[in-house]
Amino acid sequence: MSAMEEDKATTTASEASSSKAGAGIDYAALERDISSQRAVALQDGKLNAAIESLLNLEKGMRLAADVPGTRKVVVAIVELCFETKSWKTLNDQIMLLSKRRGQLKQAVTSMVQQAMQYLDKAPDQETEVELIKTLNLVCAGKIYVEIERARLIRRLATIKEGQGLIAEAAELMQEVAVETFGAMAKTEKIAFILEQIRLCLAKHDYMRAQILSRKINPRVFVADSKEKKKKEGDNIVEEAPADVPSLLQLKRMYYELMITFYSHSNDYLEICRCYQNIYDTPSVKENPSDWMPALRKICWYLVLSPHDSMQSSLLHATLEDKKLTDLPQFRSLLESFVTMEVVSWDQFWTTYKSEFELEATLPGGKLVDKALEDLRRRVIEHNILVVSKYYARITLTRLSQLLCLPLEETETCLSEMVVSKALVAKVDRPAGIISFQMNREGNDVLNSWAINIEKLLDSVEKSCHKIHKETMVHKVSLKA
């Protein structure tokens, strides 16, 4: 049994025992006592005297293990401090009530939840921060108010960020591991982790941002079509607050943050896959103002990605997308990297320069800073791949002429492609000859010879059979 389940079992048992213990308590009389003390504090101005009387009532209820009665008195004390605008007294009473011997968990939970409602009504930010810090001290180490503590820390981090203290805000958020909270709603957990990632990216802590991003499995964004029926004994999950985004909105936020993360390392293929996931969202596909910029980014980052099997697969899959017919220039952009023809960089840039520069004004912003340099490099790599398809051996001078590049740059690009295993080639530098043929092992050569001989013998056999057939037909015709 987990700590959360043990805590709930204890809570249920204590409520059952308190209902028996409080069976003889007159709650109507308790309400009258609370109302009279409220009048003393509000009308006569004797707040301390009223709180002292309420504390005596709380002691009696607490010692009797009466949960409802203790809750009412504790909440009444907190309300009284708020109504009289005694914020310092409110902080003091919250700390005092939480530290009383044998204080009931339910009473502490009710007190914290009630006090959290006053955060928006604080007269200034300093008062709000003091109340948040007090509630944090009360909630620290208590599993039954872990959700409240997470919400308080997130609120305090927002204040710190507003003051420009991004590093402090990020450190505060990292203290809480919401993925272990069984009672927190799934959407609230994801929203909290996304806030942690965002703050880490804001302070350029990319390593920690990557670690935090792995806490979210992208499969969680696939909404379940069938609602799971709650079984008896399942953990009770609280509903997410109204300001928490929906699952599909969180999906978009997650991939936008991951785009920021991958842009730091210029991982074009991963950026493309992030935009692909945003593009596949139903709400995005229904709105042309959303899917068009996403599809444009997919095309650009596909072209910018180094050539490999994954990039080639995504490239052909994107070309089959019917919505690409609405973007004919981008269809031709992708086709130019699929067609086995040499592409002139000057002509290519003249054609797509306006579209490249237009990205800065569209949703998602401009492409990464190195995009233009890498785009030229991808065109050169494509041209080298095309040449390798048509030539088994070629001189370095002729290759540089075909690519319209200096000899040094041609050799550099070729060497980088060989190192990255995008191309198989050998350069004889003294002779200036490039060979695109692979060195085959002895077994491979023997196997190819055996296959060729088998094909040759098969052809000879078929030819002999046809000759024999024609001979027999000819003999029959002569006899006739």
How far does the chain reach from its first CA to its final CA, in angstroms?
100
pLDDT of residue 18: 45
pLDDT of residue 48: 86
Q: Answer for the pair 258, 274: CB distance below 8 angstroms, yes or no.
A: yes
Does the pTM surpass 0.85? The reply is: no
Which residues of the chain are under the pLDDT cut of 50?
1-23, 225-227, 232-233
Short-list 37, 44, 128, CA closest to 76? 37
AA letter at 433: I
Spans of all domains in the chain: 1-140, 152-220+237-265, 282-390
Q: Span 152-220+237-265: which CATH code?
A: 1.25.40
Q: Answer for the pair 375, 353: CB distance below 8 angstroms, yes or no.
A: no
The Cβ-side half-sphere exposure at 296, using a 13 Å CA radius, reads: 23
Q: CA distances (Å), 194 to each of 18, 148, 186, 266, in order?
A: 41, 18, 12, 21
- Separation CA 171–CA 169 (nearest Å): 6
